[in-house]
Chains A and B, each alone.
Chain A
Amino acid sequence: MEQVEKKGKKNQTPRTPMPEQDPNVRKRNFQEVPTGYTVEMAQAEAARCLQCKKPGCVAGCPVEVDIPGFITLITKGDLTGAIRHIWKKNALPAVCGRVCPQEIQCEGRCIVGKGGEAVAIGNLERFVADWEREHGTGEVPPKPASTGKKVAVVGSGPSGLTVAGDLIQKGHSVTVLEAFHKAGGVLVYGIPEFRLPKAIVANEVNFLERLGVDVEVNAVVGRTVSLDELFEQGYEAIYLGVGAGLPSFMNLPGENLIGILSANEYLTRANLMKAYLYPKTDTPIPKGKHVVVLGAGNVAMDAARTAMRLGAESVKIVYRRSRDEMPARKAEIHHAEEEGIEFFLLTNPTQFIGNDKGRLTSMECLKMELGEPDASGRRRPIPIEGSEFVMETDLVIVAVGSGANPLLTQSTPDMQLNKWGYIVADPETGKTTKKGVWAGGDIVTGAATVILAMGAGRKAADSIHEYLTWGW
């Protein structure tokens, strides 16, 4: 605290807390957890920014939003100006303000954070975007002159949506092809309502449609139509933003018992199929009494908190490494703990046990300890011999990562993949080894973040525009 005082008056003000639903109430409902800043709160928080000459926050932002720039506009009360300023670099601020790992990006580099708490950049970004949605004119920018060129975007996650938004505003005609019956990618099927209301995603997709983007759902590229057929139909460039939608399992005995689901399945049922409203909606979801979630990333936190909201008596996160290695956003871990989720760290399952109906009844685990650092630089967890114990559970959700779904790439043999099945693309332009095809987001990098997927989309959109104007 002393250090902060030395830095001047502004820094003494503590970070404006985000109002949130009470943990004991929210853990049983699906409404959004943080309720958002008021204008007064936003201006108080904005006033904490030092307007650095060489802002660390901007350097920490993967798409280089001019953070001090939009924060000044908030202090001046020009909220419309502030949103326009963010839009120059980031097309989905209402989403990013909610789901970006700010603590390792902009806020992690904020100078105010060196001696105290960083400026709440994520909360401010979210505030401005929400304000625009609720009070803005919703006016779409004037339509640019048509170039007569057709672009197909495969996948409607954050990466594909970014490409579509950028290219339509350059005058190209853009069609988004999505395999699911609803657009949004992980934003609609993965991230739950209580963290990212689906109305916000729908609003973003709707905005693109009003700009003139044609969104075609139920189009499984590789099955309904192939890339070569898209070229035959007159598309001149194709962007692949198909995500990393292949669930990893543990490959342990008993894993096909009833009551063991991938996080993809569990969250898709809950979010996309709205199974949390069952039987008002038609898709069921298993309701565990004693739920175990394997893994400790954002996906695991989302699954655990969903299970709690569906009425579980206990929910445990089981993770083979220690707390420091948990990959989830800090805020999600904190929220999960507040909601009564228990953490079993340095613990690894060894087998699943079921009854004669094939239903899961328990899980056997081993305790682990940390050994020497492994290839990822994290200390390798090693099993402690003889430490087996059994955990009672009727629902296990496997959230230990995902891989590249081969559906589309298998039908496109002339495009190079790396040894894990991800598409090889130039990191600067997104160009793949197949002419006229770009790729970006999770299908290139492996499961990463919304903002990195958007960043890749922006670079590819620039490259596609250049190609449509000048050639490959």
Chain B
Amino acid sequence: MFKIVKREEMAEGTVILNEIEAPLIAKKAKPGQFVILKANEDGERIPLTMADTDPENGTITIIYMVVGKSTALFKTLQVGDGFQDVIGPLGTPTHLEKLGKVVCVGGGTGVAVLHPITRGLKAVGNQVTCIIGARTKNLLIMEPQMKAASHDLKVCTDDGSYGHHGFVTDVLKEILEKGDVQLVVGIGPVPMMRAVANLTRPYNVKTLVSLNPIMIDGTGMCGGCRVTVGGKTKFACVDGPEFDGHEVDFNELMMRLQAYSEDEKKCYDEFCTLQNAT
């Protein structure tokens, strides 16, 4: 069992942080890599990108939004409980190199994924501006951590309840206009990543996105995670999860993410009914 040593609820209980004992993974993991977790014997294998690792204490941190049966089940796990299986680190790590001026843009729980990448980019000597956003103030996560990970943090909310009133792309546009940006990393919901990629394209600024297709094994043996990048089929679990945002077929990704939506909704509703009954 992989024991949970710390647990926090964020964003009004819709987002959960778990710090988990997984010494082998903690030692090996690099920014941009993910793990696959399975709660119990009959559980589903869920891929989540690591938000943090602590090689000394042998722990990894994951942050996830409760969206379906499996994440609702994860949410029931308390400190001292654990996951039956944690597999990783998987995926190709972020290529970290000194480029100069870099902007990291995160939306929703994508901010968690962005955290180690931002820190890594800063550590190799880049000048890192970070933009994070959420629908409203109470849904914003990891503001202090992102502040520490970057040189300059800008915060946006769609409803103006905190920071800049508007989308992360508004702020990104202002920065792009000033010029000199060498790299943009955009991680969040698919529509946000698509918007970021569309925005940077005319400026010709290289843009990395991190994709989250449906996965099973995470080792390249099933092809369930295939995405189209530059007209070619790639397996996100081994070739990614990061890809050139200007080459990704976001429409296909959006559709493929809906493959089991009906089944999942039914299963989630049943689980919630059962939970409320007990």
**Which A residues are closer than 8 A to B by beta carbons?**
179-181, 217-220, 223-225, 245-247, 249, 251, 255-256, 258, 261-262, 264-265, 268-269, 273-274, 277-284, 286, 357-358, 405-407
Contact = CB atoms under 8 A, between A and B. Distances in A.
A306 to B, nearest CB: 15
A358 B217 CA distance: 23
Contacts of A407: 219-220, 238
Contacts of B259: 258, 286
A180 B259 CA distance: 23
A247 B24 contact: no
Interface in B220-269: 220-224, 226, 228, 233, 238, 252, 255-256, 258-260, 263-264, 266-267
Interface stretch (B80-88, B137-145, B184-192): B80-88
Given A246-B220, A264-B222, 13 more contacts: A181-B38, A181-B84, A223-B88, A223-B89, A245-B220, A249-B233, A256-B228, A262-B223, A262-B224, A284-B264, A357-B255, A405-B219, A407-B238
B256 A224 contact: no
Contacts of A180: 217
B201 interface: no
Given A181-B38, A405-B220, A256 B226 contact: yes
Contacts of B44: 273, 282-283
22 contacts: A179-B87, A180-B217, A181-B84, A217-B85, A218-B85, A218-B87, A223-B88, A224-B88, A245-B220, A249-B223, A256-B226, A258-B259, A265-B224, A268-B222, A277-B42, A278-B263, A279-B263, A280-B42, A282-B70, A283-B44, A284-B263, A406-B238
B111 interface: no
Contacts of A405: 219-221
B270 interface: yes
B221 A247 contact: yes
Contact of A265 (B38, B86, B223): B223
Contact of B88 (A220, A247, A264): A220
A132 B270 CA distance: 43
Contact of A223 (B28, B42, B86, B223): B28
Nearest to A251: B233
B55 interface: no
A241 to B, nearest CB: 15
Given A273-B44, A282-B43, A282-B73, A220 B256 contact: no
A262 to B, nearest CB: 4
Interface string B4-36: 000000000000000000001100100000000
B28 to A, nearest CB: 6
A283 B85 CA distance: 15
B45 A258 contact: no
Given A181-B84, A218-B85, A274 B42 contact: yes
B69 interface: yes
A179 B219 CA distance: 8
B256 A256 contact: yes
Contacts, number: 111
B155 interface: no
A20 to B, nearest CB: 29
B65 interface: no
A242 to B, nearest CB: 10
B165 to A, nearest CB: 35
A278 B85 CA distance: 20
A303 to B, nearest CB: 13
Nearest to A408: B219
Nearest to A243: B221
Nearest to A229: B28
Contacts of B85: 181, 217-218
B221 A264 contact: yes
Given A179-B87, A180-B217, A246-B220, A224 B263 contact: no
B216 interface: yes
Contacts of B86: 218
B130 interface: no
A405 B220 CA distance: 7
A180 B36 CA distance: 10
A264 B223 contact: yes
B258 to A, nearest CB: 7
Interface string B68-94: 011001000000000011111110000
B261 to A, nearest CB: 10
A358 B88 contact: no
A262 B222 contact: yes
B260 A181 contact: no
Contacts of A283: 44-45
A121 to B, nearest CB: 33
Nearest to B264: A284
Contacts of A246: 220-221
Most A CB contacts (10 A, CB to CB) among B217, B233, B267 go to: B217
Contacts of B258: 258, 357-358
Interface in B31-72: 38, 42-45, 69-70
A269 B214 CA distance: 12
B84 to A, nearest CB: 7
Nearest to B260: A284
A249 B266 CA distance: 31
Most A CB contacts (10 A, CB to CB) among B223, B259, B267, B270 go to: B223
A265 B222 CA distance: 4
A278 B88 CA distance: 26
